[in-house]
Structure 1
Amino acid sequence: MENQLWKRKLLSTWRKDQQWYADKLAILRSVRSSETPPGDIQSSPTGETFKEYVVSEQTPGELQRHEILYSSVAVGIVLIVFISVGILFFLRRRKTKNADEEHAASSILVYPSQQGTAPQFLTKEIHFSLPPLRSTSLGDLTEPDDSDVDTESLLLPTVSNQRSNSFSCYGLGVIEPALYKSTLDLDEIQWPEGHIGRIWFSLRYEPSTEKLLVSLLKAKNLPSRTVGTVNSCDPFVRLHLMPDERRYLQSKQKKKTCNPYFDETLVFQVSQKDMSDHTLKLTVIDGSRTKRRSEIGHVTFPLKDLEIGDGTEQQLFKLDLEKEPQEIKSNLGELLVSLLYNENLSRLTATVIEARGLKFQGDKHEAYVRLTLNQHYRSVKEKRTGVARPSRDGAVTFTEGFNFKLAPSQVDISSLAFHVFQATSGYGRDKLIGKCVLGSYMFARGKALIQWNTAIANPMEQNQQWHILCE
């Protein structure tokens, strides 16, 4: 406040002096022009008269220099005042900021209070402690005392092998190695003669998302590509959902090992109602550097044998690799069919000749065959034979032929299914005895595939074959 009053007083004095000097300069100029001194001249604020000023021999140049000097002094004083005020404001603000930082560092901000006109903040201290280490997954660890905690005992032990990520899709948690010790430890196993390898995998099906998760763990005792060498194998696994083998998933290739660790999870999208109709096939293939791939072996697993449950638990399997698909053995009976393909008319003629060894139930032994032409997995045409009774030797003779429209471009996506039913009396539902499917590589294997390919490759030639019925 005192600084402002002093400033105002200084400015008032400076303005008065400026006005007085301006008046003197005007009078001096008028005297020189008229060469007659004025009669009555007012005195200056300091008591000087015009005559005294003339005697002092001050010139207009000297008056101008005095004006510049007084102006410079006044501006300098004003700047000094402003700089001093700015420095005081800066120091005060910095002091307040340091005090706030010290207050904030002493505790943790929790939430603002709703009481009072200004926001008030409450603080509290948070204490934490390290949890005890698990002895099951990290080995035998002694739990430290609470009074004296050793930081080195809290460090995890270094593990030489890599961490498996094959169960990452199964949610949070820790895999207990003890659960799989009896199934995954193969150091002391003696392999039989002619063994071509064994594969470990786990399955889990999620009904909510209709996803089948296949986790490839590892394979053991795969044959070496070159006789007399060790680990001359570059294996990878190809997964199919039978009967559709055009679509597949494939794992990463492992280099120069006969005992590969895959640790991969692959996902198939399959509805729950189709689970019983599909079979999972895992084929182990050796891919050499010359890009020539040779199939080592394969395993199959019918998905109808998988326990679905609530979809939270995985099931572990270990299966030996097979070179050729095993022939289906069944006591349901056999069916003799014949195929004839006319390429010019795009017509397939299927003849149901005879059935033997049918497994009937009840006293009434009568059977018929229903033929279904499928393209992809959609039914296109259905036909059926008449009802026939078995003879004394147990054979049921039909000898009926049926024609189906089949273009050459549809051969690879088509199949022909034969369902043998036992006819029931009254309003009861006919019972399915067994079935067999003939078609391309997408739908059939073994004799069924050979007969289909032979009939298509040799038009106008009849080809007949016995087929074992399956469920």
Structure 2
Amino acid sequence: MAYTQLEPINEGVLSRLTDLLLCRWSCRSCWQWCWECSCCQSSDEEVEILGPFPAQTPSWLVNDCHDDKDGNNHSIIQRSTGSSIHNNGHSSPGQRRSSTEITRSTLSLARQLSSLDARRPSSPLVDVKPIEFWAMGPRKEVVQPLRKPPPPADDYFRKLEPRLYSSDSCGGDDVDSLTDDEILLRYQLGMLHFSTQFDLINGHLSVRIIEARDLPPPVTCDGARQDMAHSNPYVKMSLLPDHKNSRQTGVKRKTQNPVFEERFTFELPFLEAQRRTLLLSVVDFDKFSRHCVIGKVALPLNEVDLVKGGHWWKALVPSSQNEVELGELLLSLNYLPSAGRLNVDIIRAKQLLQTDMCQGSDPFVKVQLVTGLKLVKTKKTSCMRGTIDPFYNESFSFRVLQEDLNEVSLVFTVYGHNVKSSNDFVGRIVIGQFSTGPPESAHWRRLLESQRTPVEQWHSLRSRAECDRVSPASLEVT
């Protein structure tokens, strides 16, 4: 009986304790309980004190979290409700009302807690970029190369090539950019027909000079027209850049359309041949003056199939060297001071100027000793028949005292033997006191510095007029 009377009192105390613990009070605006009042609900501004929040979580992750929270809240409510029913054993109207109020208050508190949990940061408050899950896949971002910044305005004029704007280049187009028809129309020097092929078995380059067409009328090297109506052409060939193993065809008399049909071979390896340039020069032979170059053709051998071979018609272009070189002479000098003897060895010559149309040349060398301005001694080599590349290997000895050595000059003159008339002059050099140039002076200086030791050197032959102009010793000989 006492328990029954205290039960309403306990329920009133419990309800007030519950209201106190759950912070329930009646709203003064609408006179409703705080969980039922819309004006008392927490807004976003009330939780702004939590500070900056992390970036937005993906939608699929938020849904799963809400589902889990709702399920947990529902289970909590069921557990709290079930426990109250289990403890009481039976439900009365007052108990149902109190349990309903407890359920509502618990549900409202769970919603508030869930909203706060959703806004509460789970990690230190750092504003980070949201995780991009697609970047963790096997696809990689394409790396673009760095772009070079544009050059400053001051470097603009550095790109210009001065040679393109020089006075020499303004005269016309580059010959390499013109076709054979354009070259023929522009210069009108004719065309050359030739062929090349490399023999891998024997290891030599074969060059065949076939013919030439439409050569211009003969002119002198200074550009003046000659009285002759036809040229006397021949072809001189060499391998650039060092003009090794030069060759030349026979002279064709009085024709502007010569047919040569001559074949020449150059002994060199295949790889060496690919690094060479074949230079073919068409020359006009003149017995009474220097030979003049009509035109030339340059063929880089790395641009053609040497093994397969081929024939070409090439238009002739002007040559910067109007006159043909007179040739070269290899000499060896040696002085013996104890015996007072000056020994001279004439070893060989190459690519001498051709003096005979039919048989090439019959060259020989005359060596003359001049002391001061007086001719002392004259000697000469044997005559080599029908060649422009003679081998002599002949030695001569002159008696010269050591005190007179500084006044000595040696004059070397190459002639082409001629039976019907006087010998044809080819070229000359002077070595000694009155040398004809720096190479000759260097050879004589080496002789004086290294006595008793032979000193060899190649010399380029000069014209008679040039030697007479620079060397007084050349005027003392015939």
TM-score, normalization by structure 1: 0.29
TM-score, normalization by structure 2: 0.28
Larger Cα-atom Rg? 2
